[in-house]
Amino acid sequence: MNLAYQCFRLTLANNNDHAEAYNNLGVLELRKGHIDLARSFFQAAYIIAPHMYEPHYNWAALADQLGDLQSSYNAAKRAVDAFQDHVDSKDLLKQLKHHFSLL
């Protein structure tokens, strides 16, 4: 994991607009339990590359775990808009819609 972290950091040193590196750093930070840093990396990734579904989905899943259901819904919707066949995004969106219907 340390080598991957170093590689993504080097990528950003070379190109600070590399959305995939930000997204992957977010995943690594999430695995380390650094929630705020992971969120920042996911948000940086989807701001740089709004067409990518991965950072939207990763933020949606994290927001869902944190109980921020509205942010999770919005991010899952953006993920599905970016890639309509992403099953995990569609499942999360369906789960959130069901949850909201119970309120």
pLDDT of the residue at 1: 81
Domain coverage including residue 88: 2-102
- Looking up residue 84, the CATH number of its domain turns out to be 1.25.40.10
User: Does position 103 have pLDDT exceeding 90, yes or no?
Assistant: no
* pLDDT, tens digit (0-9, with 9 covering 90-100), for 39-96: 999 999 999 999 999 999 999 999 999 999 999 999 999 999 999 999 999 999 999 9
Q: Give all strands (DSSP E) within the chain, no chain letters.
A: none
User: What contacts 24+ positions apart, CB below 8 Å, involve 1-4?
Assistant: 1/28, 1/31, 4/28
Q: How far apart are CA 10 and CA 13, in angstroms?
A: 5
Quick check: pTM over 0.85?
Answer: yes
CA distances from 61 to 36, 43, 54, 90, 102 (A): 14, 13, 10, 12, 20
Looking at the structure of the chain, the number of domains it has is: 1
